[in-house]
Amino acid sequence: MIPIARPLLGKEEIDAVTEVLSSGMIAQGPKVEEFELAFSEYTGCEYAAAVNSGTAALHIALLAHDIGKEDEVITSPFTFIATANSILYTGAKPVFADIEPDTYNIDPEKIKEKINPKTKAIMPVHLYGQSADMKAIMEIAEDHKLVVIEDACQAHGAECLGKKAGSFGTGAFSFYPTKNMTTSEGGIITTSDREIAEKSKMIRAHGSRVRYLHEMLGFNLRMTDIAAAIGLAQLEKLDGFNASRQKNAAMLSEGLKSISGIVPATTREGYTHVFHQYTIRAQNRDKLADFLKEKGIGTGVHYPIPIHKQPYYMELGYKDSLPVSEKAAEEVLSLPVHPALSRDDVLKVIKEVKEFYASA
Ligand SMILES: *Cc1c(COP(=O)(O)O)cnc(C)c1O
């Protein structure tokens, strides 16, 4: 079976974890601080605050910017549920702006249509490892005095016009095992705003910076030194992992381009796509997925239901019509692109997709 995702963990990670276990310091400690420094440098931000998931990073980033009841946050409906849920946790309202049909990222023109006096922030998602149009989004944010919180949970190392994802506004990354790098569970907030960094660190630890002195309401959303040690080893390998993903993606695009019935993944000029997913539009998507499964190839649908159509959001009263997202949900299919694939694996994926459309 060729899986849709597989974390690559080696001796470096095992040794790093063993070292932490032997030290006896297994909760948040010096490794977390070291990881924060390394990750902030990697993204070109001055600060980072490590937490226990990408969801926590999004939630804390919103709270650190004082977003809550009565506020609206404009985001994409075509993403993992955590993006919008993090907004709901704060009491604010997620407002969905439709996506671009080629990149599947939020459409800046559609963002403009949703801005009103309650709008406080924009939360673009860098979907599949390609940055949203941050030049346009930062201009809109500046014009309307809005906060920008980037859901960079799929975009470790991605760039838009020479600048790293997560360094435009306040960034939120996930280190879940399927992402481009992992800490097991984990997440991080990136920022060059000292106050946001400090507040984020307080919110993750019951609102305190001095032990047993609580200046605000917080949670326990800390990262452990065990996770941070894995993260430090993975960060060393991230550029290599991303290069493998890009190489696999280039092979897929070359091999799939002549097949009628599918639209290969696209990279926008001036952007560095890190291919968290390699996602095509496919005619007979569900049949293709079944066919590939029979041939031993795992695929994924990211995502089959746009958030405004999820049962819980329907219950909340969402009635939007967002046709580009709704159509994408019916057509997209992610093919294996991760760095654990061999050249033969990638060639097999291409061969079987061709086979499906030849016999269809
Ligand atoms: C993975 C992911 C998250 C959530 O990260 P967790 O670490 O699983 O909490 C949020 N947004 C997007 C777009 C993701 O892909």
Q: What is the pLDDT of residues 213-222, one digit of tens each?
A: 999 999 999 9
Q: Is residue 6 part of a domain?
A: no
Residue 56 CA to ligand 1 center (angstroms) comes to 9
Domain-ending residue, one of 233, 248, 271: 233
Tell me, what's the pLDDT at 359?
84
CATH classification of the domain holding 309: 3.90.1150.10
Ligand 1: which atom is nearest the Cα of residue 79?
A: 13
Q: Is 3 contained in some domain?
A: no
From 52, 58, 80, 325, mutation site for ligand 1 pocket: most ligand atoms within 8 A of C-beta:
80
Q: Same structural domain for residues 229 and 245?
A: no
Residue of 73, 128, 153, 156 best suited for mutating to test ligand 1, as the one with most atoms within 8 Å of CB: 153
Q: Say whether both 78 and 201 belong to one domain.
A: yes
CA distance 150 to 78: 15
**Residues 137, 38, 275, 331, CA torsion sign:** negative
Site to probe by mutation for ligand 1, drawn from 51, 52, 53, 55 as the one with most ligand atoms within 8 Å of Cβ, is 55
Residue 179 domain flag:
yes
Contacts 24+ apart (CB under 8 A), 300-303: 300/4, 300/5, 300/333, 300/334, 301/329, 301/332, 301/333, 301/334, 302/80, 302/127, 302/128, 302/277, 302/332, 302/334, 303/78, 303/79, 303/80, 303/329, 303/332
Going by alpha carbons, the residue nearest to atom 6 of ligand 1 is 54
DSSP 224: P
Closest atom of ligand 1 to CA, residue 175: 7
The ligand 1 atom at the shortest distance from the C-alpha of residue 55 is 9
> H/E element holding 232?
helix 225-256
Q: Which of 52, 83, 127, 279 gets mutated to test ligand 1 (max ligand atoms within 8 A of its CB)? A: 83
Among 233, 248, 278, residue at a domain's last position:
233
Structure tokens at 323: 């046709």
Q: What is the extent of the structural domain holding 280? A: 239-359
Q: Please indicate, yes or no, whether residues 223 and 295 belong to a single structural domain of this protein.
A: no
DSSP state of 48: E
Residues 6+ apart with CB under 8 A from 92: 62, 67, 68, 69, 70, 71, 72, 73, 120
Expressed in angstroms and rounded, the spacing between residue 317 Cα and the centre of ligand 1 is 24
* Last residue of one domain, picked from the residues 233, 261, 281: 233
Cα 79 to ligand 1 centre (Å) = 9
- What stretches in the chain show pLDDT beneath 70? 360
Instruction: Give me 210's structure tokens.
Output: 């001095």
For ligand 1, atom 14: residue with the closest CA: 153
pTM, entire model: 0.98
Residues 264 and 309 in one domain: yes
Residues 109 and 138 in one domain: yes
Task: Find the largest Cα–Cα distance for the chain.
Answer: 68
Instruction: Give the nearest ligand 1 atom to 186 CA.
Output: 7
* Same-domain status, 174 and 310: no
> Angle at which helices 225-256 and 11-23 pack, to 10 degrees?
170
Report the domain count for the chain.
2
Pocket of ligand 1 (CB under 6 A): 53-55, 79-80, 82-83, 125, 151, 153-154, 174, 176, 187
Structure-block tokens of residue 289: 């997925």
Collapsed DSSP state (helix, strand, coil) of residue 180 = coil
Q: Are residues 304 and 215 in the same domain?
A: no
Cis peptide before 303 (omega within 30 of 0): yes
Q: What is the model's pLDDT at position 339?
A: 97
Question: In angstroms, what CA-CA distances link 108 with 114, 149, 173, 326?
Answer: 10, 15, 22, 18
Q: At a CB cut-off of 8 Å and minimum separation 6, what does 21 contact? A: 226
Q: Specify the pLDDT at position 257.
A: 94
pLDDT in tens, 298-356: 999 999 999 999 999 999 999 999 999 999 999 999 999 999 999 999 999 999 999 99
| Structural tokens at position 341 | 């694939």
**Atom of ligand 1 at shortest range from CA of 178:** 1
Q: Which of ligand 1's atoms lies nearest the C-alpha of 154? A: 15
* 222 assigned to some structural domain: yes
Residue 153 Cα, ligand 1 centroid: separation in angstroms? 5
Tell me the CA–centroid distance for residue 268 and ligand 1, in Å.
23
**Residue 2 maps to a domain:** no
Q: Which of 4, 59, 174 to mutate to test the pocket of ligand 1 (most atoms within 8 A of CB)?
A: 174
pLDDT digits (tens, 9 = 90+) for 69-107: 999 999 999 999 999 999 999 999 999 999 999 999 999
